[in-house]
Amino acid sequence: MSPTSHPNYSTSSLSKLPIPELEDTVSRFKAAARPLFEEEEFAKCMAKFEHFVATEAPVLQARLKERAEAHENWLEEWWNEYAYFLNRSSLCFNVNYFFGFRHTPQPLSQARLAAILIDSTLRFRDILESGELEHDNIRGKAMCMHQYQYMFATCRHPGETRDHTEIYARDQSRHVAIAHKGRFFALRVPDTANTDRLAAIQQIEV
């Protein structure tokens, strides 16, 4: 079961991702294209663009609205497939999110910092799966939390031209992968936040 399938994270009360009006898209394109061309080039670009707006654009806009009616989120599949899974750029530098850490008042070993991070991450997972995580919001407007399902028990499998993601059951994801000096280890951790889990995490300092 996905962590975000908890009733507290339901998206039924959220507004669907809107389709930008064609006029707005036209205006934004013109503003974005203007700094890229000299006067003559810009005039040629706009001539072709205006032809597109008068002919093909209304048809494509109608199809986009039809797609929005048929899908919970009209953009998500396209984003995952074309901007994410087909992206051949280095994931570490161009795709993956990262963590920023606060300065620690006293020097800590790399192993101790790793242990603290693992413990904090598992505590966050407990909160997420319990349904107690506070909803994401921007300026008081609730945001969809569907993407949280990919944070844990998930693996992106590489392909020659296209990757894919698999989400595993909780009982299949009871370990943390650790890389050290070119070697990889699987640290098994108990499900619940107790002394057994802390003892397991502390093993990396041994």
Q: How far is CA 118 from the centre of its chain?
A: 20
What does the DSSP assignment read for 149-178? GGSSSEEEE--SS--EEEE--GGG--EEEE
> Does pTM surpass 0.75?
no
**Over residues 185-199, mean pLDDT:** 74
Q: What is the mean pLDDT of the chain?
A: 85
Whether the Cβ atoms of residue 167 and residue 2 lie closer than 8 Å to each other? yes
Which two tokens mark 206?
A: 């041994």
pLDDT at 193 over 80: no
